[in-house]
Amino acid sequence: MPTIELKNLTKTYGKNTTPAVNDVTITIADGEFMCLLGPSGCGKTTILRMIAGIEHASSGEIVLGGSVVDSVNKSHFTPPEQRQIGLVFQNYALWPHMTVERNVDFGLRIQKIPAEERHARCQDVMEKLRIAEYANRYPSQLSGGQQQRVALARMLAVNPGILLLDEPLSNLDATLRLEMRAELRRIHETFGTTIVFVSHDQWEAMTLANTIAVMNKGTLQQIGTPDEIYATPQNRFVAEFIGNPKINMIELSKATNSLDKVADHILARLPECAHADTCCIRPEEIVLSDVPHSHTLPMTIENIMPTGGSWVIELSYGSSRLFHSTQQRPYWRVQEQVNAFLPAQALHFFDQHHQRLIIDTPQDESLKRLKQPNQFGSNHTFEPNHPLTQPVNHRV
């Protein structure tokens, strides 16, 4: 199974001045399950198409399994016919004039596989993807999910070393998505294929991929495991793009001359971060309590939104707004006062170029003595007798 190396890959369409893909360098290891994640229009599809060879690079290089397939400096280009790659298009691109079976065995026919073996392989793949019963139907007679499985089977039949998938789950309804997700995982395990898929949906990326590459406006923002990406966003874009509800962004640079009470509070508490531009905290990391303390912020509950098994609470302090999310049913009412605690360890800082700043904030002293995971799974430390260590969201 080959690796995929993208080196300084850039793509500019036609006379456009802004590149669709800008200086992207990624190495995708053998057998990896990688997701290119980013908002719509950030160049994900373009990267897939370049790997497949249906677009060519404007500069940079693509190396598949050690051999250069597209390189501007070496003036080399291997056409898609010779790359032995599988690509499942976002809208499947099934051939409307061929039956499911003909769609699936097209690649095998091209390779001049003898009829018997061809039939056997085709049958095998169709059975694995549970489309064998539709073998004689035309694509227009299939549902979206079935069409997608045909598109997958068409590529898997030739057993490509690399499988590229463009937004594999986005056209499916909720139940089909779950089914397909399991399907893709199974394919990854049984076929051992290197899979690169594209998504604009973080849930899809987080639940499927081993590695995620976050992209924005054609540039690579961060590569890492889903956990890394979530826990240590390398820049402001990644922090804001990942996570639902969205991360709370606090502009520190505006603190002194604005009414942002939260920013003032953080600067007062942690003077080390004075040179940071922004700071953010995930909604579930905020700790709410009824009892005030020197490190808490008095806030008003503006809104409580149930989101099916969890709740999002909108808090305000002057003109500042924060969102908190919890899986405990809140017992407060709207307009009630609560005290919000923003643990220093949970704060992410960014400089004016929106890059992550490593700031060695003191762990909140009062919280050091006892290490006790709270119900959100993060490892903040709490002091038993301290007002803040009261189980959160429970009235004393």
Ligand X SMILES: Nc1ncnc2c1ncn2[C@@H]1O[C@H](COP(=O)(O)OP(=O)(O)O)[C@@H](O)[C@H]1O
Tell me how far, at minimum, the Cβ of 19 lies from other proteins, in Å: 10
Separation between Cα atoms, residue 278 and residue 273, nearest integer Å? 9
Of residues 40, 41, 39, 76, the one with CA closest to residue 57: 76
Tell me how far, at minimum, the Cβ of 36 lies from Mg ion, in Å: 10
The contact mask relative to ligand X for 12-51 (x = CB under 6 A, - = no) is -xx-----x-----------------x-xxxxxxx-----
Pairing mode, strands 287-289 and 337-341 = antiparallel
Tell me how far, at minimum, the Cβ of 289 lies from ligand X, in Å: 42
Separation between Cα atoms, residue 213 and residue 233, nearest integer Å? 12
Q: How far apart are the first and last CA of the chain?
A: 59
Quick one: how far is CA 117 from the chain centroid?
Answer: 40
The contact mask relative to ligand X for 344-363 (x = CB under 6 A, - = no) is --------------------
Rank residues 66 and 96 by Cβ distance to other proteins and give the closer one.
96
Per rule CB under 5 A, count of chain residues that contact Mg ion: 1
Query: Residues 156, 163: contact at Cβ < 8 Å?
Result: yes
Beta strands in 14-64 (DSSP E): 21-28, 33-37, 59-64
Quick one: how far is CA 205 from the chain centroid?
Answer: 4
Residues 16-75 that bind other proteins (CB under 8 A): 22-23, 52-54, 56-60, 71-73, 75
Q: Which residue is nearest to Mg ion (CB)?
A: 45
278 near Mg ion, rule: CB under 5 A: no
Residue for token pair 């049984």: 190
Separation between Cα atoms, residue 132 and residue 23, nearest integer Å? 43
Tell me how far, at minimum, the Cβ of 57 lies from ligand X, in Å: 13
Q: Which does 91 bind (CB under 5 to 8 A by kind): ligand X, other proteins, Mg ion, none?
A: other proteins
Tokens of 70: 């597209």
Give the count of beta carbons closer than 10 Å to the beta carbon of residue 319: 10
Tell me how far, at minimum, the Cβ of 11 lies from ligand X, in Å: 8
Q: Which does 85 bind (CB under 5 to 8 A by kind): other proteins, Mg ion, ligand X, none?
A: other proteins
Q: Which does 325 bind (CB under 5 to 8 A by kind): Mg ion, ligand X, other proteins, none?
A: none
Residue for token pair 């793509």: 11
Between the alpha carbon of residue 321 and those of residues 33, 239, 301, the distances in Å are 38, 17, 10
Separation between Cα atoms, residue 145 and residue 171, nearest integer Å? 8
Rank residues 63 and 93 by Cβ distance to other proteins and give the closer one.
93
DSSP 329: P
45 near Mg ion, rule: CB under 5 A: yes
Rank residues 228 and 290 by Cβ distance to other proteins and give the closer one.
228
95 near ligand X, rule: CB under 6 A: no
Separation between Cα atoms, residue 363 and residue 365, nearest integer Å? 6
Separation between Cα atoms, residue 302 and residue 310, nearest integer Å? 17
Rank residues 38 and 226 by Cβ distance to ligand X and give the closer one.
38
Rank residues 158 and 276 by Cβ distance to other proteins and give the closer one.
158
Site residues for other proteins per CB under 8 A: 8, 10, 14, 22-23, 52-54, 56-60, 71-73, 75-77, 79-87, 89, 91, 93-97, 106-107, 110-111, 154-155, 158, 219-224, 228, 232, 234-235, 355-356
Site residues for ligand X per CB under 6 A: 13-14, 20, 38, 40-46
